[in-house]
Amino acid sequence: MIFWLLFKKEDDNKEFDILNPQGYYQYLVDGAPLVVKMGHVTSRGIEFINMGKFYLEDYIAENRTMKFIATGLIKRLDRVKFYGFGKSQVTGYETPIPTTIKEVITAIMNKIGLASDQYEVPDYLDIISLPDNDLGPMGWTGRKKLQTGREILKKIGIYYGLVPREDREGKIIFDYIDTKLGVYNEGVTEFYGNLVLQKTATGNIVDLDNCLSNPKTEQTDQLYKINYDAEGFYTEDFVSKQILAEAADYNVVDGSDIVIYLSSPATEHAYFQDTPITTGTAAIVDMFVYEYMILVKTSGTGTISFAIDDFIFQDSSQSNRILYSSIITKGYELDLFFARLWNWEWNWFYDEATTRLFNASKKYRHTAEWRQDLTNHLCDIVQIENEFDVEKYMIITQQIYEYNGALKGQTIGVGDWWVDFH
């Protein structure tokens, strides 16, 4: 979910003219933060509500009017490139080894360079453990595929059932969808295979008295096909084990690097054959494996003796897989790429994640054009009134605010199949 901001300002005095030496144009820089507040009159005066933190992306002069375009932090993460987590031969994997969804998210946020005050991961995600030995889709084993920060957030959301979004303070937060779902309904889930939305509002009602027209309800397109593109799927059997570096003694002075050039390419599975033997104060800090080079970081002075082996894994012949919904035969397609996986990882994804994706697509979209409510947030569950007095609830997926002397806008959300028909 992305924040967008578009606003215009009259510039009759040419304060933003590029040629004005005392103008404001010189302060318009890419990424300049913009904090937006809206206020309403009360008996105590004007009370302001934060609407979000944005970052300037573009500004255009049009007929003595300046138009400013700004976006939230998630959109700007398109500019952050990420290759994955390299495998460390000293610690096993880059520490701390993620064991819960919260640890996965925290590690990713740190790796793509977000400060601790730019994101917030709820504590309840810390009790949701990953499957046994699960390294996740993010590349903990050193898989190298260039991705943007936003692609990573999307992947986390798909894989773990989360909605990454921004709050009004400018932080990236994560809503866990399962906390907004009620119990299964036996008769419905057996037929539709769908989850039931809670009938517990967390936001204010979208009432007809404040609607500019009757709310619109339409069935969304449903996901019927997932195109799963991968570099390959590891089988459990090793094809071979190769020696990358024969046992040797290396002199270390004041933490000097050990660089070993290879005659054959290495994989991310390279490892020390045995525990390295050290003398003096010498110690291994870490090891980084490149295609034709190994770099060993050290500390202290002395000698270090070790050999390095490498496992080469057999790939299954099929790297691209297609999944179809068992319920419908037409709809939209979803393309996914999670790099290379173990076969057991694929089986877990097939059993859990794809079921969640297909089920989550069976929704109705509600759109209300009304006077808006500044206190409703994205991912709130709200009741939406209609002319037939049928009880309907939806999760807010989009909020549009327009102010031109008076406030109006749209609230858009989705409600599940069971709530809408029963």
Domain residue spans of the chain = 4-71, 78-177, 181-220+362-421, 227-232+317-360, 234-315
Name the DSSP class of 97. P
Rounded Cα distance, 125 and 380, in Å: 19
Rounded Cα distance, 46 and 66, in Å: 27
Rounded Cα distance, 202 and 180, in Å: 10
Q: How sure is the predictor about 213, in pLDDT bands with cuts at 50, 70 and 90?
A: very high
Model confidence, pTM: 0.64
Q: How sure is the predictor about 388, in pLDDT bands with cuts at 50, 70 and 90?
A: confident
Length of the chain: 422
Q: Which residues contact 369 (CB under 8 A, 6 or more apart)?
A: 211, 212, 213, 215, 408, 409, 410
Strands 293-299 and 283-289 turn out to be antiparallel
pLDDT digits (tens, 9 = 90+) for 87-125: 444 444 444 556 777 877 887 788 778 888 999 988 877
* Average pLDDT of the chain, as a whole number: 76
Q: How sure is the predictor about 260, in pLDDT bands with cuts at 50, 70 and 90?
A: very high
Rounded Cα distance, 401 and 4, in Å: 11
* Residue range 192-208: mean pLDDT, rounded: 68
Q: Quickly name the fold that domain 181-220+362-421 has.
A: Elongation Factor Tu (Ef-tu); domain 3 (2.40.30)
Give the residue from 170, 216, 148 showing the smallest Cα distance to 34: 170
- Point out the least confidently predicted range of 56-65, 237-246, 256-265, 380-389: 237-246
Peptide bond into 276 cis (omega under 30): no
Token match 């495998």: residue?
A: 87
Please, what is the Cα angle at 244 between 241 and 248, to 5 degrees?
Answer: 125
SS3 category, 240: strand
* Residue range 153-160: mean pLDDT, rounded: 74
